[in-house]
Structure 1
Amino acid sequence: MAKQSSLIKLEGTIGDLSFYKNRNGNYIARRKGGVSRERLLNDPRYQRTRENMQEFSQAASAAKFLKNAFREIELRSNGGKLHNRLYSAVNKVLKTDPVSPRGERRFELGDIQMMRGFEFSESAVFGEILKKQFEVLEDESSVTVTIEEMAPSKYLISPKRSSHYRFSLIRAAVNFEEQTFHSEIQSSEFLPLKVTSAPAEVLTLPIPNQANENYFFALSLEFVEELNGQQYERRDISQNPAVIVAVV
């Protein structure tokens, strides 16, 4: 890499040289390089690179698909970089596929139980917002989440200006083979934060048990602000935690 020392400052491309201004305000000249597309796609020495590219594409596609399936969560809890964080988690699962050859491994054939515990908002970890354990009960037909009776002001770390909260259980049913998904949600009522005791919450959703479908259940906690009897969503939803609690 070379620096330009002349009075003429160039930006753009001339032949195989690229001229640009870097972050420090210096003008830099760089020769074009890299491997040609044809060589990358056909040269045996780049077989591993092609395999990595295929699996990158597969993981990115599965992450996007799963994100769309959890659209209800994205609207309620999103601390930014959700796709990137989902991709990272999906890629780890994909690499556990025990049957497919390198380059053809698939997320749905891997250990999808690794998605349990995935936090949708990196700035609002569920266990740091709800300071009380909740119970997750799975059986052949349903998933049930129980949050015991509690004092909200003691066990909930709520954002400023929030007055009410509610829990939601969301199920994303995903068929990766046919590229279809559908979701269902059950929510509690909005409850005031400033009470000495709030009743236990029990949220249940069925498991459809359809062929080739995987089921991901997430628990979300949403804070809102009440004004003149109306509840309003907060602009900053990054403080609303959500976590995958069951994978079937």
Structure 2
Amino acid sequence: MAVLKGLIKIEGTLDGLTFYKGKKGYLIRTKGGISKERIQKDPAFIRTRENANEFGLAATAGKILRYALSTLIRNAKDSTLPSRLMTTMILIKNQDTASPRGQRNPAMGLSTPEGKRLLHDFNFNTHANLTQVLHAAYSVNGTTGEFSMPGFVPGTQLVAPPGASHVTLQSALLNVDFNTEVRDLKLSDPLNLRINLTSEDVALDPAAVTGTGITMILLQLSFFQEINGIQYHLNNGAFNTLNVLKVI
């Protein structure tokens, strides 16, 4: 690395030299790095190739799950979702103790209790975590996917965003095979409630799903503002929740 002295200040690459501004002024370094071909073939980089392959498998698994839930995610997500989900999938693939190094994948990791636990309680929108929004006791049937919440009072057991007049609750069952990408998503009938002090027995029961993949139960809360008898999504769904309640 060299320091550029003089009146001319350059940033960028020229004739194999990279000019950039650092803490000590304008610096110069030669354009270098390891070639792609060497990384792909050199035995010294076998660990690099293994890590890159597993990184790709985790990224693909996250993408498959996002696509499988696209109808729900559309109104309940934040800008960090892809990176957060991939980070979770990386942790899940580490639970794969059957595949050789370089081929560990989230599909195998999710077949383990610890892998399922890592995806449990995942929030697709960090601006609206379920535990911060819903303050009511509920139960989830791990066999049928039924969500039950007796005596729910939206006005006191829900932390609704300013301006919200109604909330819609909907549960979902998803079976997704991360190897074949075959998926089956079933939604319960939506339950729309006015945010007031009226008590409501909530029961959401989606139809059964089929498939040989991983099954998960999810819950979505969507907030609306009523104007002249019409309900509108509040702030384009920025306050909506989508949470993985259970991985079966």
Residue of structure 2 in register with 1:203 after alignment:
204
Deviation at 1:25, TM superposition (A): 11
Q: Which amino acid aligns with 1:218?
A: L
- Of all paired residues, the percent bearing the same amino acid is 28
2:69 and 2:75 map into 1 onto residues whose CA distance is 10
Give, in whole Å, the separation in 2 of the partners of 1:224 and 1:2: 59
1:159 matched to 2:161? The reply is: yes
Write out per-residue CA displacement over residues 195-227 of structure 1, whole angstroms, 9 at most, x where no aligned residue.
Answer: 2223111111243343x3222221111111111
Distance 1:150 1:60, change over 3 A: same
Which moves more between the two structures, 92-101 or 70-79?
70-79
Q: Is the 1:80–1:238 contact (alpha carbons within 8 Å) kept by the matching residues of 2?
A: no
Give me the TM-score of the superposition, normalised by structure 2.
0.90
The aligned counterpart of 1:83 is 82
User: In structure 1, what is the Cα distance between the partners aligned to 2:178 and 2:224?
Assistant: 35
Give me the whole-angstrom Cα distance separating, in 1, the residues matched to 2:167 and 2:33: 54
Contact 2:189/2:206 (<8 A) preserved: no
* Number of the residue aligned with 2:92: 93
- Deviation of 1:245 after TM superposition, in Å, equals 1.0
Whole-angstrom distance in 2 between the partners of 1:180 and 1:4: 57
Instruction: Pick the aligned partner of 1:121 from 112, 125, 141.
Output: 125
**Counterpart in the other structure of 1:168:** 170
Name the SS for the 1:64 alignment partner: helix
Match runs of 1:105-144 below 5 Å: 105-110=104-109, 111=112, 112-114=115-117, 115-139=119-143, 142-144=144-146
2:78/2:126 contact within 8 Å kept: yes
Decide whether the 8 Å contact of 1:207 with 1:215 is kept in 2: no
Q: Which residue of 1 aligns with 2:29?
A: 30
Q: Deviations over 1:50-105 (max 9, x none)?
A: 10000001100110111111112211211221111110111111111121001001
Paired position in structure 2 for 1:241: 241
* d(CA) in 1 for partners of 2:230, 2:10: 59
C-alpha separation between the residues in 1 aligned to 2:244 and 2:27? 47
1:232/1:25 CA distance change after superposition, 3 Å: farther
Q: Distance in 2 between matches of 1:203 and 1:91?
A: 32
In the alignment, is the contact (CA less than 8 A) between 2:145 and 2:173 conserved in 1? no
Structure 1 partner of 2:147: 145
Aligned partners of 1:80 and 1:172: how far apart in 2?
23
**Structure 1 Cα separation of the partners of residues 231 and 44 of structure 2:** 60
Aligned residues: 243
**1:180 match:** 182
The alpha carbon displacement at 1:240 in A equals 1.5
Runs of 5+ consecutive residues of structure 1 not aligned to the other structure: none
Correspondence for 1:224? 224
1:18 positional shift: 1.0
